[in-house]
Amino acid sequence: MTNFLAIDTSSEACSIAISAKGKIKSFHEVSSVKHSERILNIIDELLDESKIKLNDLDMIACGVGPGSFTGIRLSCSIAQGLSYSLDLPLVAISSLLSMALQLNKSQNVDKICCLVNAHMNQIYVGKYEYSSGILDVSSETVINNSDFSFENLSLDDSYSFLGDGCSLVEIQPTEFVYPNSIAILELALKEFKQGNCVNPEELKPVYLSGEEHWSKA
């Protein structure tokens, strides 16, 4: 049985999940308290609830953003430290993709556009399509609020929208969710099985700055 730990602190939500012995224990809370003040204690509590120790983990998964600069750095640094010290494989997952997966599951929609407030009059934009049982990344980028249009982003009415950036461009979101560690666990398991892991020193926060990342080949 494989034991996984997933971490995401890229948003206002502190989200941590452990899959162990076929069961998932998780913590997900939106709070004004700094994530750094609680995250290690939460991991310890979830390990206790799962009745395993750090040494029993087989893989670390991390939401690498985009999102809060300090939040992304926090989750990445913890994931790097655990991966390095325990000699565990590390899987990097787009935080926006974890949001899209939640909408795909809750609303059974196939084409999703995630809009997240990047501040400074900018929006993180992620486009995703679900096909043949796989939710795939079409593109992730950051744009100025004023540059948002269906034409510029090759969007149409078949897309469902989510994220706090919807209000910036006067779009009604289908649902509002934060990046979620349980979704990251699911996505990371598929990547892990395909051998798509990174060395801890290679893990980098994803700060989108006007160019596409995670683009589909």
- Strands 59-63 and 23-30 come out as unpaired
**Element (H or E) spanning 142, and its range?**
strand 134-144
Residue of 20, 107, 97, 27 lying closest to 64 (CA atoms): 97
Q: Are residues 14 and 46 in the same domain?
A: yes
Q: Is the pTM of this model over 0.75?
A: yes
Distance CA 42, CA 49 (A): 10
Residue of 156, 105, 168, 167 lying closest to 127 (CA atoms): 156
184 by Cβ neighbours in 10 Å (0-12 / 13-18 / 19+) ranks as buried
**117 occurs within a structural domain:** yes
Per-run averaged pLDDT (10 residues), the chain, 217 residues: 90 94 94 80 96 96 90 93 95 96 95 93 94 88 94 95 95 93 96 93 76 39
Q: Provide the token pair at 174.
A: 């289908």
Q: 181, 17 in Cβ contact below 8 A?
A: yes
- Residue 190: what pLDDT? 92
Distance CA 40, CA 42 (A): 5
**209 occurs within a structural domain:** no
Q: Are residues 15 and 121 in the same domain?
A: no
Q: Are residues 9 and 89 in the same domain?
A: yes
**174 occurs within a structural domain:** no
**210 occurs within a structural domain:** no
**154 occurs within a structural domain:** yes
Domain count, the chain: 2
Question: Which domain CATH number covers 153?
Answer: 3.30.420.40
Q: Are residues 118 and 71 in the same domain?
A: no
**184 occurs within a structural domain:** yes
Q: Are residues 41 and 115 in the same domain?
A: no
- Residue 33: what pLDDT? 67
Q: Are residues 8 and 32 in the same domain?
A: yes
The residue segments making up the domain with residue 120 are 96-169
Residue of 216, 206, 194, 181 lying closest to 61 (CA atoms): 181
Q: Are residues 25 and 90 in the same domain?
A: yes
Q: Are residues 185 and 88 in the same domain?
A: yes
Q: Tokens 């892990």 appear where?
A: 192
**207 occurs within a structural domain:** no
**193 occurs within a structural domain:** yes
Q: Are residues 9 and 71 in the same domain?
A: yes
Q: Are residues 158 and 184 in the same domain?
A: no
- Residue 103: what pLDDT? 96
Q: Are residues 17 and 112 in the same domain?
A: no
Q: Are residues 101 and 165 in the same domain?
A: yes
